[in-house]
Amino acid sequence: MESASTAAATSAELYRRACAVMPGGVSSPVRAFGSVGGTPVYFQSACGSRVRSEDGREYFDFIGSWGPLILGHAHPEVVQAVQLAAARGTSFGAPCRDELLLAEKIVELSPVADKVRFVNSGTEATMSALRLARAATGRDLMVKFDGCYHGHGDPFLVKAGSGLATTGESSSAGVPQAVSGQTGVLPLDDEAALEAWFEQHGADTAAVFVEGVPANCGLLVQRPEWMAALRRITREHGTLLVVDEVITGFRLAPGGVCELEDYAADLVTYGKVIGGGLAVGAYGGSHALMDRISPQGGVYQAGTLSGNPLGMAAGLAALRVLEDEDGWARLEQIGQAWQQRLEPLLQREAAAAAPLALQRQGSIFWLCFGTSEAPRRFDAIPAAGADRYQRFFHALLDDGVLIAPSAYEVGFLNLTMSEDDLDQAAAAFARALELSR
């Protein structure tokens, strides 16, 4: 078989040109292959679970555009809905019927949202939810957890400071200290850290943000006791709990993690799946909270393309297929089938003193290299695992299987993945594990 490195001449040339006109050659940093090395692959088309590169190679895809493509690429019903919508006009800058229908569907399925506001990305959803939480509480501070990602809004680009109950330091150039100083960063899985923060800052803390299941630094599944403590402490202090379901919403269950866990969130943020592969985000909460948003209330938030007919049509089509085809139950079956194929590989690696752990929630999975026990917090992820991941990634890529170009990113399963597909992918994983030891 021709290896990816020799076959990737077109991608390499496109990337060389892109680097001249785009920072790092990409529109989003992880795409540049910085942590695995090599040259990003350019894709020209995709169908189901398969993506075709500009170099003419086909790959089996576990990235799924980082989560939106729960039905697989170019699902016929989504494509048709977008085509029909586009033919009627791509944007009116005015309300449209599909926007109402998608809002009604989200409100029907979400255990948190009595009302929903559409935006164009998960980043906009979390930024807007934070503004709303600050307005509703009259407080400025917020808390996030180490390893959780909530988009690239300034208040979220903050890493842990030196003490447990102190605010953090910016993790990006260009974020003023005045902004990062309003964000506390706590470890996951640690009730004592929560208590310490709230003892000191409870009366000033507007919101705690947590991912439904933290899935941006591996898949850090939390203990129910910790989630209960988080809910109890925030409630005791009049702090709003914002569950960021940009990844998990409408993926792990119709109502996301907020349906599965007793989080009783005050606000929820969505993205990815609700846009069917187009640029859609949303945030929602109770009538009382959401009625604070303009034009009804004084919290300003707007968007030229928010609720645009294409994104709304794609999202509606995706949710319709999931509902009609028993999508969530089937995704769980596909997840179980994938796990069954990976587990013997983990045993083999453990026997070869090259341990790795599998974490899976429904159709999201993560392999953590360097330990046989899946971690619950960021600082428990073995840093050394990233070296092996790099070799593993390239061995898979050479074999025609695409996983995220970072050891800290999860994999996504979709509804088109068949038993045969999973057999073949597992065989490729077995080969790549052996090659990467």
Ligand X SMILES: Cc1ncc(COP(=O)(O)O)c(C=O)c1O
Q: How far is the CB of 247 from ligand X (least distance, A)?
A: 5
Does the protein bind ligand X through residue 361 (CB under 6 A)?
Answer: no
Strands 401-402 and 58-61: parallel
- Find the part of the chain contacting ligand X (CB under 6 A) among 89-97, 120-128, 226-234, 283-291: 120-128
Sheet with 141-145: strands ordered across: 115-119, 281-285, 267-270, 240-244, 205-211, 141-145, 183-186
Size of the site for ligand X (CB under 6 A): 15
Going by the DSSP 8-state scheme, the letter that residue 363 receives in this structure is T
Residue with Cβ nearer ligand X (53 or 123): 123
Strands 158-159 and 240-244: unpaired
Going by the DSSP 8-state scheme, the letter that residue 252 receives in this structure is T
Nearest-10 Cα torsion for 156, 111, 307, 153: 0
Does the protein bind ligand X through residue 363 (CB under 6 A)?
Answer: no
Rg (CA), the chain: 22
Does the protein bind ligand X through residue 399 (CB under 6 A)?
Answer: no
Rounded Cα gap, residues 370 and 38, in angstroms = 23
- Find the part of the chain contacting ligand X (CB under 6 A) among 74-82, 243-251, 287-295, 331-339: 243-251
Does the protein bind ligand X through residue 246 (CB under 6 A)?
Answer: yes
Judged by CB under 6 A, the residue of 247, 253, 345, 417 near ligand X is: 247
Catalytic residue, chosen from 149, 270, 283, 389, is 149
- Find the part of the chain contacting ligand X (CB under 6 A) among 116-124, 287-295, 338-346, 409-417: 116-124
The tokens for 193 are 């850290």
Catalytic residue, chosen from 61, 189, 244, 421, is 244
Judged by CB under 6 A, the residue of 61, 244, 261, 409 near ligand X is: 244
User: Is 149 annotated in the active site?
Assistant: yes
Does the protein bind ligand X through residue 216 (CB under 6 A)?
Answer: yes
Judged by CB under 6 A, the residue of 48, 72, 151, 284 near ligand X is: 151
Does the protein bind ligand X through residue 271 (CB under 6 A)?
Answer: yes
Does the protein bind ligand X through residue 121 (CB under 6 A)?
Answer: yes
Residue with Cβ nearer ligand X (160 or 242): 242
Does the protein bind ligand X through residue 123 (CB under 6 A)?
Answer: yes
Q: How far is the CB of 172 from ligand X (least distance, A)?
A: 14
Angle at alpha carbon of residue 403, lines to 398 and 409, rounded to 5°: 145
Other C-beta atoms lying within 10 Å of the C-beta of residue 139 = 21
The tokens for 261 are 């866990």
Does the protein bind ligand X through residue 53 (CB under 6 A)?
Answer: no
Angle at alpha carbon of residue 47, lines to 45 and 49, rounded to 5°: 115
User: Is 244 annotated in the active site?
Assistant: yes
**Residue 183 CB contacts under 8 Å (≥ 6 apart), including other chains:** 141, 142, 143, 144, 155, 156, 158, 167, 168
Residue with Cβ nearer ligand X (218 or 271): 271
Rounded Cα gap, residues 118 and 239, in angstroms = 24
Name the residue whose CB lies closest to ligand X: 122
**Residue 108 CB contacts under 8 Å (≥ 6 apart), including other chains:** none
Q: How far is the CB of 413 from ligand X (least distance, A)?
A: 17
Residue with Cβ nearer ligand X (9 or 302): 302
Catalytically active residues are 149, 244, 272
Which chain residues interact with ligand X by CB under 6 A? 66, 121-123, 126, 149-151, 211, 216, 244, 246-247, 271, 281
